Structure 1
Amino acid sequence: MKKKNLIILGIDTSCDDTCAAIIKNNTVLSNIVRTQQIHKKFGGVVPELASILHLKHIVYVVKNAILKAKITTNAINAIAFTKFPGLIGSLLVGSAFAKSLAMCWKIPLISVNHIQAHILANFLEGVHSTNPNFPFISLSISGGHTNIIKVKDFLEMKILGSSNDISLGNLFDNIAKVLGFQYPWGRIIEKYAQLGNSKKFCFNKPKVKNLNFSFSGLQTKLLYFLKKKIKNNSEFVSQNINDICASFQDTVFEILFDKLNKTVQKTGIKNIVVSGGISSNIGLQKFFSEKSIENNWKTFFPKSEFSTDNAAMIALVGKLKYERNLFDKFYD
Structure 2
Amino acid sequence: MIVLGIETSCDETGVALIDADRGLLAHRLYSQTDLHAVYGGVVPELASRDHIQRLLPLVSAVLDEAGVDGHDLDAVVYTGGPGLLGALLTGASVARSLAWGWGIPALAVHHLEGHLLAPFLEDTGLDFPFLVLQVSGGHTQLIHARALGDYDLIGESIDDAAGEAFDKTAKLLGLGYPGGPALARLAEQGRSDALRLPRPMLDRPGLDMSFSGLKTAVLTALKKQVYRPEDVARAFEEAVTDTLVEKTRRGLEQTEAPALVVAGGVAANTTLRAGLKAMAQRQGVPVYFPRPEFCTDNGAMIALAGLRRLQAGQVTETGAPVVAARARWPLAELAPPAVA
What is the TM-score of this pair, normalised by structure 2?
A: 0.89
1:268-287 correspondence runs (5 A): 268-287=256-275
1:141 corresponds to 2:135: yes
Aligned letter for 2:14? Answer: C
CA-to-partner distance for each residue in 1:177-210, whole Å, 9 max, x for gaps?
Answer: 0000011223111112223222321111222652
1:186-225 correspondence runs (5 A): 186-207=180-201, 209-225=205-221
Instruction: Identify the range of structure 1 (139-148 vs 281-290) with the bigger mean alpha-carbon deviation.
Output: 281-290
Aligned letter for 2:173? Answer: L
Which position in structure 2 is the counterpart of 1:3? none
CA contact (8 A) 2:76 2:95 kept: yes
1:56 corresponds to 2:53: yes
Looking at structure 2, the residues matched to 153 and 292 of structure 1 have their Cα atoms a distance apart, in angstroms, of: 21
Looking at structure 1, the residues matched to 281 and 312 of structure 2 have their Cα atoms a distance apart, in angstroms, of: 37
Looking at structure 2, the residues matched to 320 and 10 of structure 1 have their Cα atoms a distance apart, in angstroms, of: 12
Cα offset for 1:293? 2.1
Cα offset for 1:61? 1.1
Which position in structure 2 is the counterpart of 1:9? 4
CA-to-partner distance for each residue in 1:188-238, whole Å, 9 max, x for gaps?
Answer: 1111222322232111122265211111112212212222x12xx5xx4xx
1:29 corresponds to 2:17: no
Aligned letter for 1:321? Answer: R
> Which runs of structure 1 show a deviation greater than 4 angstroms over 4 or more consecutive aligned residues?
none
Looking at structure 1, the residues matched to 289 and 301 of structure 2 have their Cα atoms a distance apart, in angstroms, of: 14
Instruction: Identify the range of structure 1 (85-94 vs 67-76) with the bigger mean alpha-carbon deviation.
Output: 67-76
Of 134, 142, 151, the residue aligned with 2:145 is 151
Identity of aligned residues (%): 36
CA-to-partner distance for each residue in 1:82-122, whole Å, 9 max, x for gaps?
Answer: 00111111001001111111111110111111111011010
Unaligned runs of 5+ in 1: 1-5
Which position in structure 1 is the counterpart of 2:178? 184
What is the TM-score of this pair, normalised by structure 1?
A: 0.91
Which position in structure 1 is the counterpart of 2:279? 291
1:168 corresponds to 2:162: yes
Looking at structure 2, the residues matched to 264 and 184 of structure 1 have their Cα atoms a distance apart, in angstroms, of: 31
Which position in structure 1 is the counterpart of 2:331? none
Q: RMSD over aligned Cα, in angstroms?
A: 1.5
Cα offset for 1:289? 1.6
Which position in structure 2 is the counterpart of 1:67? 64
1:250 corresponds to 2:238: yes
CA contact (8 A) 1:81 1:98 kept: yes
Aligned pair count reads 316
Unaligned runs of 5+ in 2: 325-340
